[in-house]
A and B are shown apart, each in its own frame.
Chain A
Amino acid sequence: MRRWLRRARDLRVTLWTLIVPPTTWAAHFLFSYLWAAISCAKLGAWARFPTAFAIGTVAALLVIVIAGLIAWHQARTPGAPAPHDEGTEVDRLRFLAYSTLLLSGLSFIAVVFTAAPVIILSDCR
C-alpha cells in the first residue's frame, strides 16, 4: 500500500494524466449507455437491482477521486503562490495538477448526473 502511495506521488501529471478524469467519465457514460441499450433490447427491462451498473459507477468514481487526490497532492508542491504563470518546471507541474483537480471535480459531478437516472427511473419504458 505504502509503495503504491509512493509510486503515485512519483507519478508526474502530464497531458495524458490531465485527461484521465474526463476519459473516465466518457468510459462510464459509454458503459451506461451500452448497458442500458443492451439490457433493454435483449431483456426487455431490468427489474432487478442493476449490480453491474452500480459496480461500474463506483469504479468510475474511485478512479476520478484517486486522480483528483494525486493532482491535489501535486498542486500543493511548494513554490510561488497562484497563478502559476512562471516559466519553471514547478509552475508547469502545479498548473497541470490544478487543472486535473478541477477536471476531476467536473467529471465527478458528471458521473453522478449520469448515475442519477438509473436510481430514479429504474426501468426501460
Chain B
Amino acid sequence: MSLHAQDDPQLRKDQEARLRAVWKPPSGWFFRWTDVNNNRIGVWYTLTAFGFMLFAGVLALIMRTQLAVPDNDLVSANTFNQLFTLHGSMMMFLFAVPMFEAVSIILLPQLLGARDLPFPRLSAFGYWSFLLGGVFVGGSIFFNAAPDGGWFMYPPLTTRTDLSGIGADIWMLGLSFIEVSSVAAAVELIVGVLKCRPPGMRLNLMPLYAWYILVVAVMILFAFPPLIAGDLLFEMERLLGWPFFDASKGGDPLLWQHLFWIFGHPEVYIVFLPSIALFAMLIPTFAQRHLLGYPWIVLAAVGTAFLSFGLWVHHMFTTGLPKISLAFFSAASEAVAIPTGVQIFAFIATLWAGKVKWSVPLLYASGSLAIFVIGGLTGVMVAIAPFDWQAHDTYFIVAHLHYVLIGGTLLPLFGGLYYYWPLITGKTLSDRLGRIAFWIMFVGVNLTFFPMHLSGLEGMPRRVFTYPADLNIGWLNLASTLGSYLFASGVLVLVIDLMLSPTRKKAPRNPWNAGTLEWLAHPDDEDWGIRSVPLIESRYPIWDQKDFVAKVDEGRFFLPDAEEGRRETIITSVLDAKPVSVIRLGTPSVKPMMTAVALGAVFILTTYHLYLLAAFGGVATLGCVLWWLWDTAAIPEKHEKPIGHGIDLPLYIAGPAAPGWWAMFITMMADATAFSGLVFGYYFYWTIHPNFGADFAGPGTYWPMVALLLSLASWVATVAAREVHSRGAVSPARALLVVGALAAIASLGAGLRSLDGLDPQANVYPAIVWVLVIWTVIHAAIGAIMQSYTVARSLAGRMTPAYDADLRNITVYQHFFALTALIAYLTAGLFPEAGL
C-alpha cells in the first residue's frame, strides 16, 4: 500500500477548498472586472478582438459593395478612404496581433502546466489598454474622423495638417497606445515560456506552440518599437512642426516608410506564425502520432523570425532606392520561403505517417494551407523586383496579401477555435455547421480574391473608390463582391454556431484524445489553472506518462496546496526547467485598469491638443505605476516552502533567475530597439544629405560630453550601490543611489542645455538632435525616479541585502540607460561635427 499523503481523500478535499478560496474571482457588478486571472483576461481579450474583426469585416463589405459596379456612388471618396484605412488598421492592430496574444494568454498557462503566467496584472493592464485604444480608434469612423491615409499612413499626405484631419492623430496616438499593450503582453509571454514551465519540461520537450510563442513575442519586441519611434517623429511633425518627413526642410518621407516597414513586414509573420502554431498542436492530435521533425519546426520558426526582418524594403521596390539594395531584400524575400516550406512539409509528413481523423479543425487546417500556399507563391512573384514594379499598388497585391492573411492567419484561427472551444467552454461546436461554414468560406475566399489577381494585372490600382466601365474589369469586381458576401455568410454561420454553443451539453474531458498538457482542463474548470504542477517526461505526457491525468488531479505532483492563502506558481530554469523558486502572483486589483485609463488619457487627450490635461494624465500614470509596484517583490513571511516530494524552494529570488529581472531586461530590449530606430533616422539623414550638420548650428561638443559623463556617473553609482548593498552596507548603498539620482538630474540639465539655440522647426538636423537628446533626458529622469524609489523601498524596510530584487532590476535599466546616453551624446556631440 502506498504511504503517500495524497492518498488521504480528506487532505485532498481540504487542499482543493484552500485553492478554490485563493483563486476565487472577485464578484460584484464592477469588481468582477478587476480580475487578473489570465484564463479570464484571455477570454475577454479574445472576445474583444473577435468583435473588432467582425466590425472591420463589415467595413470591408461596404467597400466591396461600392466597388461592385463601375462608377458607383454608394459612398464618397472620403468615406472610402476612411473605410479601407480603418479596415486594414483594425485587422492588423486590433485583431491579428491581439488575437494571437489573447489566445496565448489563455493557452500558455495550461500548455505549461502553470497556475498562471508570472505577471497576471500586466496582462490585465494590456487588455484594458487594448480595449480603450481599440474603441477610440474604431469608433472614430462614426464621427467622420477616422484615419484616411491608408493603413501605412505615408507622409507627406498624412503629416500635412492641411491635407489630413484629426484621423491621422487618432491613428498614431491610438495605435501607439495599443502597441504598449502588445509589448506588455510580449513581456508576459516570453517570461512565461522561459521561466514558468513545469519541472522536467526541458527545451526539447516544450510544446511547439510555446516555441512559436517565444519566437513571435521576441519578434514583437524588435518589430513594434521602430514603429513607436516612427510614431514619435510623426506626431512631432504634426503637432510641433518638426520637419522629419518634410523634404523642403531637409526631411525625407522615405524614413517613415523604412520605420513603418521594419515593423510592417515582420508583422505579417507575427500574425502568421502563431496561427500555424495551432496546427502544430492539432495535427498530431488528429494524426494520432507525435509530430515529425520537431527540430525542423523550431528551425522554421526561428529562421522565419530572423529572415522576416530582412524583407522590409520589398514594400519599397518602387521608391527609387539603389538597385543593389533592392537585390538584397529580394534575396532575403526568396530565402524566407525555405523555412516556411519546411514547416508545411513537416505537417504534411505527419499527416501522411499518421492515421488521420478528418475532423472540422483539420479541415480548416488543410484548407487554409491550400490558400496560404497560393498567397506564398504570389509572394515569391512580387519578391522579384521587376515583377513588383509592374504589380505594385494594384489589386494583384491586394489578392496576394489577403491570400496570405486569410490562409495564414484567419482560417487557422477558426480551425483553432473549433479545436480549443471545448477547452475554454467545456462544449463542442457543431460538426455540421463547422463544415458548412468552412466550405462557404473556402469558396467565398477564392471567389473574392482570385479575380483580384486578374483585375490587378488589368491595371486596377488599390485604394480607388471607383473605376470607369471602359476598363472592362466590372465583371471581375462583381465576382469579388459576390465572393465577399459569400465569405461573410460563412463567418455568419460560424458566429451562429458560437451563439448556439451555450445550449449544447457538456463535452467529455479531452474530447479529441490529445496528448498535450492543456487538455488536462476539465469541462467544469476551476480557476486555479492546474490542480498540481506536473513533472514532465515526454512531449505528449497524456499519451506517454502512466496515470498522468489522475496524478495531476489527485495533487500528487508539485504545489498541490495553498497553505498560506497566496496565489503561487513554480519558477524553473530556462534550459532544463529545474525548479528554482515559488513566486507569489498578483491578485485581483483595480490598479491595472486605473493605470490603463491614466495612460489612455495621455494619448487620447494629446490627440485633441489638450496638453495640460494630458500632462496630468502622465503624472497620474506615474503615480499608478509606483502604487502598483509598491506591493510587488514583497519580502515573504518565511524563506522557503515545501512543494511536495521533499523539495523546498525559496519564496524570493532576485537577479537573472527571477521573472522580474527578465521582464526588465526584455522591456529594455524593446526600449533600446525604439531608440535605435531614432539613431537610424539620424544616420539616414546623414547618408542622403551632403551637408548634414554643416548648414545649421549643432549642439557643440561641450554640453553633450558633460551630459554623457554625468549619465555614466549615475550608472556607476547604481552598480556600486548594488555591490556594496549585497555586502550588507545598506547606508552607503542608499547614499550612492542618491548620488546616482542627483547625477541623472544634472545630466538632464546638461542635456537640455546642449539644445540651446537649436531651432527644431528650421531643419531636420536640429530636429533629430532634439529628439535624440530628449529621449535620453527622459530616460535620465526615469532613472532618477527609479533610484529614489529604491531608496524609499530600502527606508520602508521592503528591500534588504538578502531581498534586493528592486536594486538588481534598476541596475539592468541603468545598463541600458548608459548605453543610450553613450550613443546619443557621442552622435549628437561628435558626429558629423568632429569631421567624421
A residues lining the B interface (CB < 8 Å): 14-15, 18-19, 22-23, 25-26, 29, 32-33, 36-38, 40-42, 83-87, 89, 91-92, 94-96, 98-99, 102-103, 106-107, 109-110, 113-114, 116-118, 120-121, 123-125
Chain B residues closer than 8 Å to A87, beta-carbon distance: 200, 202, 205, 536-538
B322 A109 Cβ-Cβ under 8 A: no
User: In whole angstroms, how far apart are the Cα atoms of A109 and B202 in the complex?
Assistant: 30
Tell me if B327 is interfacial: C-beta within 8 Å of chain A. yes
A121 B324 Cβ-Cβ under 8 A: yes
User: In whole angstroms, how far apart are the Cα atoms of A40 and B330 in the complex?
Assistant: 18
Could you jot down 30 A-B contacts, CB within 8 Å? A14-B575, A15-B203, A15-B574, A18-B302, A19-B302, A26-B310, A29-B328, A36-B328, A37-B322, A37-B325, A41-B688, A83-B294, A85-B204, A87-B202, A89-B202, A91-B204, A94-B204, A95-B204, A96-B203, A103-B303, A110-B307, A110-B310, A110-B335, A113-B331, A113-B334, A114-B310, A117-B327, A120-B327, A124-B322, A124-B323
Chain A residues closer than 8 Å to B457, beta-carbon distance: none
Size of interface on B: residues with Cβ below 8 Å to A: 39
A113 B332 Cβ-Cβ under 8 A: yes
B687 A22 Cβ-Cβ under 8 A: no
Tell me if B306 is interfacial: C-beta within 8 Å of chain A. yes
Q: A110-B335, A124-B322 are in contact. Are A38 and B687 (CB under 8 A)?
A: yes
B329 (CB) vs chain A CBs: closest residue: A33
User: In whole angstroms, how far apart are the Cα atoms of A102 and B300 in the complex?
Assistant: 9
Chain B residues closer than 8 Å to A121, beta-carbon distance: 323-324, 327
Tell me if B298 is interfacial: C-beta within 8 Å of chain A. yes
User: In whole angstroms, how far apart are the Cα atoms of A45 and B306 in the complex?
Assistant: 30
Tell me if B338 is interfacial: C-beta within 8 Å of chain A. yes
User: In whole angstroms, how far apart are the Cα atoms of A83 and B296 in the complex?
Assistant: 11
B299 A103 Cβ-Cβ under 8 A: yes
Tell me if B339 is interfacial: C-beta within 8 Å of chain A. yes
B328 A99 Cβ-Cβ under 8 A: no
A54 CB, nearest partner CB in chain B, Å? 15
A20 CB, nearest partner CB in chain B, Å? 11
B536 (CB) vs chain A CBs: closest residue: A87
B202 (CB) vs chain A CBs: closest residue: A92
A117 CB, nearest partner CB in chain B, Å? 3
B204 (CB) vs chain A CBs: closest residue: A95
B295 A25 Cβ-Cβ under 8 A: no
Chain A residues closer than 8 Å to B328, beta-carbon distance: 29, 32-33, 36, 114, 117
User: In whole angstroms, how far apart are the Cα atoms of A96 and B335 in the complex?
Assistant: 23
B657 CB, nearest partner CB in chain A, Å? 15
Chain A residues closer than 8 Å to B202, beta-carbon distance: 87, 89, 91-92
B324 A95 Cβ-Cβ under 8 A: no
Of the candidates B203, B298, B574, B687, the one whose C-beta lies within 8 Å of that of A37 is B687
B687 A41 Cβ-Cβ under 8 A: yes
User: In whole angstroms, how far apart are the Cα atoms of A114 and B329 in the complex?
Assistant: 8
Chain A residues closer than 8 Å to B538, beta-carbon distance: 85-87
B294 (CB) vs chain A CBs: closest residue: A83
B residues lining the A interface (CB < 8 Å): 200, 202-205, 290, 294-296, 298-299, 302-303, 306-307, 309-310, 322-325, 327-328, 330-332, 334-335, 338-339, 536-539, 574-576, 687-688
Q: A22-B302, A99-B299, A123-B324 are in contact. Are A109 and B335 (CB under 8 A)?
A: yes
A42 B687 Cβ-Cβ under 8 A: yes
Known: A15-B203, A106-B299, A106-B303. 11 other contacts (CB 8 A): A23-B306, A40-B324, A42-B687, A85-B294, A86-B537, A87-B200, A102-B295, A110-B310, A114-B328, A120-B327, A125-B323
Chain A residues closer than 8 Å to B203, beta-carbon distance: 15, 92, 95-96
Chain A residues closer than 8 Å to B327, beta-carbon distance: 116-117, 120-121
B324 A25 Cβ-Cβ under 8 A: no
B299 A102 Cβ-Cβ under 8 A: yes
A89 B576 Cβ-Cβ under 8 A: yes
Chain A residues closer than 8 Å to B325, beta-carbon distance: 33, 36-37, 40
B204 A92 Cβ-Cβ under 8 A: yes
A117 B324 Cβ-Cβ under 8 A: yes
User: In whole angstroms, how far apart are the Cα atoms of A40 and B537 in the complex?
Assistant: 56
Of the candidates B204, B302, B303, B335, the one whose C-beta lies within 8 Å of that of A84 is B204
Chain A residues closer than 8 Å to B688, beta-carbon distance: 41
B688 (CB) vs chain A CBs: closest residue: A41
User: In whole angstroms, how far apart are the Cα atoms of A22 and B302 in the complex?
Assistant: 8
A61 CB, nearest partner CB in chain B, Å? 15
User: In whole angstroms, how far apart are the Cα atoms of A29 and B574 in the complex?
Assistant: 29
Q: A29-B310, A102-B295 are in contact. Are A125 and B322 (CB under 8 A)?
A: yes
Residue among B203, B204, B298 having the largest count of chain A Cβ atoms under 10 Å: B204
B421 CB, nearest partner CB in chain A, Å? 29
B575 A106 Cβ-Cβ under 8 A: no
Chain B residues closer than 8 Å to A118, beta-carbon distance: 324
Chain B residues closer than 8 Å to A84, beta-carbon distance: 204, 294-295
B90 CB, nearest partner CB in chain A, Å? 31
Chain B residues closer than 8 Å to A92, beta-carbon distance: 202-204, 575-576
Chain B residues closer than 8 Å to A40, beta-carbon distance: 322, 324-325
User: In whole angstroms, how far apart are the Cα atoms of A123 and B576 in the complex?
Assistant: 50
B313 (CB) vs chain A CBs: closest residue: A33
User: In whole angstroms, how far apart are the Cα atoms of A33 and B295 in the complex?
Assistant: 31
B302 A99 Cβ-Cβ under 8 A: yes
A118 (CB) vs chain B CBs: closest residue: B324
Q: A85-B290, A117-B324 are in contact. Are A96 and B204 (CB under 8 A)?
A: yes
B535 (CB) vs chain A CBs: closest residue: A87
User: In whole angstroms, how far apart are the Cα atoms of A15 and B815 in the complex?
Assistant: 22
B295 A98 Cβ-Cβ under 8 A: yes
B332 A29 Cβ-Cβ under 8 A: yes
A71 CB, nearest partner CB in chain B, Å? 11
B344 CB, nearest partner CB in chain A, Å? 15
A86 CB, nearest partner CB in chain B, Å? 8
Chain B residues closer than 8 Å to A41, beta-carbon distance: 687-688
Chain B residues closer than 8 Å to A98, beta-carbon distance: 295
A90 CB, nearest partner CB in chain B, Å? 10
User: In whole angstroms, how far apart are the Cα atoms of A89 and B200 in the complex?
Assistant: 10
List 7 A-B pairs, minimum CB-CB distance, nearest first. Answer: A117-B327, A95-B204, A22-B306, A113-B331, A102-B299, A92-B202, A41-B687
Chain B residues closer than 8 Å to A109, beta-carbon distance: 335, 338
